Each structure stands twice: as structure tokens, then as C-alpha cells.
Amino acid sequence: MRHIVTLTLSPTVDVSTCVDKIIPDHKLGCDHPKFEPGGGGINVSRGLKRLNVNSVAIFPSGGYTGQHLQDLLKLERINQLPVLTDNLTRECFIIMNREVREEYRFGMPAVELHQKEEREILSVIRNLSPKPKLIVVSGGMPPGIGDDFLAKVARIAKQDEARLIVDTSGEALRHAVEEGVFLLKPNQAELSKLTGINVTDHASVERATRQIIDAGKCQIVVVSMGAEGAYVATQNFAEMVEAPPIEKRSTVGAGDSMVAGMVYALEKGMDLRQMVRMGIACGSAATMNAGPELFKKEDAERLYQWLAGRMR
């Protein structure tokens, strides 16, 4: 049976805690830290698991922090294929200031990947058995990775007749789109860089997505637009879908949760309109939780029903 694969090139162990207040030059007492696996594709796998869909997470893993990441994924029963690396897997930190309910996010630099490690990751994808039916590449590109890396992944996906979903930025994204992808999920800034169109409103979003679709290199473009919702476009269809009204606590993992929701919808055979609404529901549900915690299944299902009820 063909499976879903996620690829994360800049994984992290997310460490979160709370303090009563933040005061310069003082030793601040923190709550017990919470450790969670993180990084784009890894979060997609975690989100899918919450929706009772299994996947295989591929990611570079180095040193004791890489081992910690693997252990955390085992606790969540995430299938994984780590590629061992020379450099330590990074940690990122999230601090919640209870006094003013402000969240501070400290992202450590992405860890450099060596050429031999890049080749090993491609080899793991190429030699998957059974072949994947869907490959999700999500998260930033680390130093050392070739600009054409995602183009190589796209070629493997074509050979394996797998659908490729990409949620990243920069030159790697451009190369992937030139090779061809099934679904692209940029935000407005990423869409601007990709197309050269200053994306500031619905009209410019429409022009930019149409440019990509008309080039014949992508079947579906879903533009995440934060609190406004998302814009979805194909060759024959386009729609702006509003986000549900919720109280936002944290945006950490919201984009990855959105991708997880859309992949879930594809797995369950939902149509395009249902797919984007399930994505928005999971992304919005993630913002209801503090820190790096992803969405709760019951929140996502409730928000999806609200969104589905407003379809015309």
C-alpha cells in the first residue's frame, strides 16, 4: 500500500516554557520546559497523526539533540526515516510572558547539510518501498543544500507517480515550481518573491496565482493569508475562503497544520473546496493553543463544520 511521506530539511526540538514577567538583568524563574518535535514536514506528520492518518517522516538528525528528536517522535508514534548528519540538530525556544500574554520565539539558525547528506536524503526518497503516493516538503531550506534540490525531489515524484506538495520559500521553491509540483502553498510574501508581483490584496493574489497556474507547472495553488483565510486556485476554479472567527493565542505551527489538514482531505477523497476548508480549520485550530502545540482534533472538526456550513 502506497503511503504519505513528509520531508523536513531544517528540523528542530522546540523547547517552550512560561515566566511570570520578563525583566532585564534578572534571573527569571521558568516553568518546567516542554519539549516537542518541530520543523515543517515533521509537524505535518504530527498533524496527520492527530487526524488518524499515518505518514513517514524523513529528516536529517544529528547528535544528542537529533536523538532527542527521534525519541520525541517515537512517543507520538510517528513513523520515521532519519538521515544521520555530522552537525547537531538545532533547538528553538518559545517563552510566554504571563504578565502581558506575549509570546517570544527564538529560532536558532538552520543547521548546514553536507553534500553527502543531501545525496543520502535523495537516496532514501528514491529507494522508498512501497513508493509514496504523496510527498510533502515543508519548512525552510538549510545552508549547504543545493538550489536544485527540490527540483530533484520533483523528478523523483514524477518517476514514482507521486503527488508533490511544497511549502517553502526562496530559490529552492522556484526550482521546484519550474520542474512541476501538484500543490503549492505559499504565503503572500513567498508568492510575491516567486512571481515578482507585489501581493497586497485579493486582486494581486489572483494575478500571481494565475501566473503560476497558466505556466502549467502547478495544478493547485493555495495562498495562506493569515486571519483573512486562504485563496485557492486551479486552471478552472478560484475561491477566497474566509477564516473562522477565533481567539488567537499562538501562530506557531499554523501553516504546517493547514498543510496537514489539506493532505488529510486528499487522503479521504474530499473535493477541492472541502480540502481548503479542512486546511483552514486545522490551521485556525492550531492558533487557539499556546506555544508550539498543534491543533486539537475536536477543534479542527468543529471549525471545519462551521466553514462547510457556509459553502454556497
In this structure, the chain runs to a length of 312
**DSSP type of residue 257:** H
Q: 10 Å Cβ neighbour count for 165?
A: 26
What residues does each domain of the chain span? 4-14+38-91+117-309
In three-state secondary structure terms, 184 is strand
Q: Which fold has domain 4-14+38-91+117-309?
A: UDP-N-acetylmuramoyl-L-alanine:D-glutamate ligase (3.40.1190)
Q: Where are the alpha helices (DSSP H) in 25-93?
A: 40-50, 63-75
Look up residue 148 and give its three cell numbers.
Answer: 536544485
Q: In what order do the strands lie in the sheet with 90-97?
A: 34-38, 12-19, 90-97, 102-106
8 Å CB contact between 246 and 282: no
pTM confidence score? 0.93
SS3 content of the chain, % helix, strand, coil (to 5): 40, 25, 35
Asked, as a colleague might, if the bond just before 245 is cis with ω within 30 of 0, I would say: no
CB 128 within 8 A of CB 5: yes
Q: What is the pLDDT of residue 99?
A: 86
| Alpha-carbon torsion angle 148, 151, 152, 153, nearest 10 | 130
Q: Determine the pLDDT at residue 291.
A: 63
**Regions of the chain with pLDDT less than 50:** none
Residues annotated as catalytic are 256
Please give the pLDDT value at position 118. 95
**Distance of alpha carbon 207 from alpha carbon 195, whole angstroms:** 9
